[in-house]
Amino acid sequence: MNNILSCLEGAKTVMIAGHTRPDGDCVGACMGLWHYIRDNYPYIQADVRLEPVPDSYKVIKGVEQIISDYEDDRTYDLFIALDASDKERLAGAKKYFDTAEHTICIDHHISNSGFADENLVLPNASSTCEVLTGLMDIDGISYDAAVALYIGIICDTGVFKYSCTSHRTMDMAGCLMEKGIPYSDLIDDTFYRKSFKQNKILGFALDKCSLVLDGRMIMCILERKELDQFEAGHGDLEGVIDQLRLTKGIEVALLASAADGETTKYKFSMRSNHYADVAAVAAEFGGGGHIRAAGFSAAGDIKEIYGRVEKLIKEQLDTCTME
Ligand SMILES: [Mn+2]
pLDDT single digits (tens) 70-120: 999 999 999 999 999 999 999 999 999 999 999 999 999 988 989 999 999
From the CA of 128, how far away is ligand 1's center (Å)?
A: 5
Give me the CATH number covering residue 200: 3.10.310.30
Which amino acid is located at 197 in the chain?
A: K
What's the 29 CA to ligand 1 centre distance in angstroms? 9
Q: Are 281 and 316 in contact (CB under 8 A)?
A: yes
Distance from residue 214's CA to the centre of ligand 1 (Å): 37
Closest by Cα among 115, 91, 120 to 33: 120
Residue 254: exposed, middle, or buried by beta-carbon count in 10 A (0-12, 13-18, 19+)?
A: buried
Provide the total of helices (H) and of strands (E) in the chain, helices listed first: 11, 11
Distance from C-alpha of 176 to C-alpha of 164, rounded to nearest angstrom: 18
User: How many Å apart are CA 134 and CA 70, to the nearest integer?
Assistant: 30
The candidate with the shortest Cα–Cα distance to 36, out of 120, 145, 173, 139, is 145
Give distance in angstroms: CA of 66 to centre of ligand 1: 19
| Residue 81 and residue 107 in contact, taking contact as beta carbons nearer than 8 Å | yes
| Shared domain check, 173 and 149 | yes
Which domain-ending residue is among 192, 218, 236? 192
CA of 31 to the centre of ligand 1 (A): 14
Q: Are residues 179 and 54 in the same domain?
A: yes
* The residue type at 100: A
Q: What is the pTM of this model?
A: 0.82
Between the CA of 299 and the centroid of ligand 1 the distance, in Å, is 32
In this structure, the answer to whether residues 183 and 213 fall within a common structural domain is no
Whole-number pLDDT of residue 300: 96
CA distance 100 to 77: 6
Are 179 and 279 in a shared domain? no
Name the domain boundary from 176, 192, 208. Answer: 192
Task: Report the separation in Å between the CA atom of 244 and the middle of ligand 1, taken as the mean of its atom positions.
Answer: 25
| 111 CA from centroid of ligand 1 (Å) | 12
Q: Do residues 16 and 47 touch, judged by C-beta distance below 8 A?
A: yes
Helix (H) or strand (E) run with residue 189 in it = none
pLDDT, one tens digit per residue, over 258-294 is: 998 888 999 999 999 999 999 999 999 999 878 888 9
For ligand 1, the distance from its centroid to the CA atom of residue 237, given in whole angstroms, is 23
Same structural domain, 36 and 168: yes
Indicate if 97 and 142 belong to the same structural domain. Answer: yes
Determine the distance separating the centroid of ligand 1 and the alpha carbon of 153, expressed in angstroms: 8
Q: How far is the CA of 212 from the centre of ligand 1 (A)?
A: 35
Residue 23 is part of a domain; what is its CATH number? Answer: 3.90.1640.10
pLDDT value of residue 191: 85
Same domain membership, residue 269 and residue 209: yes
Expressed in angstroms and rounded, the spacing between residue 83 Cα and the centre of ligand 1 is 5
Q: Say if residue 134 is in the same domain as residue 234.
A: no
CA of 82 to the centre of ligand 1 (A): 9
Ligand 1 centroid–CA 264 distance in Å is 34
Whether 111 and 182 map to the same domain: the answer is yes
CB-facing half-sphere around the CA of 205: CA atoms within 13 A: 30
| Residue ranges of the chain with per-residue pLDDT less than 50 | 323
How much is the pLDDT for 293?
86
d(CA 133, CA 145): 10
pLDDT at 321: 63
CA angle 122, 125, 127 (to 5 degrees): 105
Based on the structure, what is the number of domains in the chain? 2
Residues 175 and 223 in one domain: no
CA of 155 to the centre of ligand 1 (A): 8
Distance from Cα 217 to the centre of ligand 1, integer Å: 30
Residues 57 and 143 in one domain: yes
What beta strand segments (E) does 166-311 contain?
Answer: 210-212, 217-222, 252-258, 265-272, 288-290, 293-299
Instruction: Tell how far the Cα of 281 is from the centroid of ligand 1, in angstroms.
Output: 26
Cβ contacts of 241 within 8 Å, gap of 6 or more: 253, 254, 255, 269, 270, 271
Residues 183 and 249 in one domain: no
- Residue span of the structural domain in which 236 resides: 196-319
Q: How far is the CA of 43 from the centre of ligand 1 (A)?
A: 29
Supply the pLDDT for residue 1. Answer: 58
Q: Rounded to an integer, what distance in angstroms lies between the CA atom of residue 310 and that of residue 130?
A: 40
State which of 192, 224, 253 marks the end of a domain: 192
Which string of DSSP letters, residue by residue, matches 17-49?
Answer: E--SS--HHHHHHHHHHHHHHHHH-TTSEEEEE
